[in-house]
Amino acid sequence: MPRLALYALVVCALAVAAAVISFVQGSWLGVVWVLLAGLSSNMAWFYLRRTKTRRDAAATS
């Protein structure tokens, strides 16, 4: 797994945990954490797919 994808997944997990804690405490700041989780999840998918595409391109050429 690429290092940047792993970092993005860690940030996503931490953002989800922070969102849950924020909502449990009654704070609307959890919405920001949910948005950050979505962004980091998309970044992880991007880095994983980019690595797979590059690996497949190198194998065919």
Residue 42 has pLDDT above 90, yes or no: yes
Give Cα 49 to chain centroid, integer Å: 13
Residue 61 has pLDDT above 90, yes or no: no
pTM: predicted TM-score of the whole model, two decimal places: 0.88
Give the pLDDT band of residue 22 (cuts 50, 70, 90).
Answer: very high
CA angle 46, 9, 16 (to 5 degrees): 120
